[in-house]
Structure 1
Amino acid sequence: MVIVYISVAIVAIAIVVLIFYIIQTLKSAQGVVTQLGNTAEAVEKQLQGITTETEHLVKTTNRLAEDFESKSGSLDGLFSTAEELSEATERVTGSIQNISTTVSEETERNAGQVAKAVQWGSACLELYDKWKSRRNQEEHEERN
């Protein structure tokens, strides 16, 4: 019977040691679970910060998109004005070309008459110069 008592004592000691190691393992597991809880809280806080920043970024992006849309809308008038200015410039250029062509054609048509008028003018000036020089000569002779 002593062997039975010794066997029961050994089994009891083994059960006590086993319970001791199970308690140690559970304490370690409790520490890991606590760290996981702390990590989960930290991740949750970071996610809240990221969510807040993302919402701010989305709002800023929407404001920029609205601002861009309004500014691009205001540029439509500028492009329209530039197009109208281009059309007006083309019309003015066409008018100037027409006037130049007309003047050139009229000049070519009247070139002969202009040449005759210049010849008559030159002839009149020569006659006037001859008359003036004779008159001056006559006055000079009268004085001497």
Structure 2
Amino acid sequence: MQIILYLSVAVIAISFFILVIYIAKTLKAFQETIQSLTKTINSLEKQVQDITTETAQLLRTTNAVADDIQKKLESLNSIVQAVEHVSSTVESFNQSLHHLSGKVTEKMEHHQEKVVQVMQWGNAFLEIWEKWKERKQRKQKS
């Protein structure tokens, strides 16, 4: 009877040992995946910073151009005010350009987040796909 008890305990111990080994392998694979994701996220953060810098420069340039256009339109308005009929036409043109520059700026700001999101998801997908291919190749070599 004691032999059966000892054998049962031995089988349980061996089973527990095998379970611990599989859990350790799983945790190691999970750790590698987390490290890979960390690298991917760091890469994405750098790319987002670069895109943000470029977008900020583009917005500054757009604002400078809009300011320049606005100043030129104001000087043009002061000259044209001497002629009554031309004055109304220039004011209408000025309002259209101001509205257009506002729309352009609004569209650029609106689409900036979408472009960043698309790039982030694309890069994340590519990283995950590359890791999957590497693992598949390692399994085939083994």
TM-score by length of 1: 0.54
CA distance in 2, matches of 1:84, 1:15: 95
Q: Which residue of 2 aligns with 1:24?
A: 25
> How far off is 1:2 after superposition?
1.1
Q: Which residue of 2 aligns with 1:49?
A: 50
User: Is 2:14 the counterpart of 1:13?
Assistant: yes
> How far off is 1:9 after superposition?
1.1
> How far off is 1:84 after superposition?
9.2
Specify every segment of 5 or more residues in structure 2 that has no aligned partner in the other structure, as ranges.
87-142
CA distance in 1, matches of 2:19, 2:73: 78
| Matched-pair identity in % | 41
Which structure has more relative contact order (CA 8 Å, sep 6+)? It is 2
79 and 22 in structure 1: CA distance in 2 versus 1, 3 angstrom threshold: same
Specify every segment of 5 or more residues in structure 1 that has no aligned partner in the other structure, as ranges.
86-144
Within 5 A, what are the aligned runs for 1:1-144?
A: 1-83=2-84
84 and 44 in structure 1: CA distance in 2 versus 1, 3 angstrom threshold: closer
> How far off is 1:82 after superposition?
4.0
TM-score by length of 2: 0.54
Q: Give the AA of the match of 2:45.
A: E
Larger radius of gyration, structure 1 or 2?
1
Q: How many residues align?
A: 85
47 and 84 in structure 1: CA distance in 2 versus 1, 3 angstrom threshold: closer
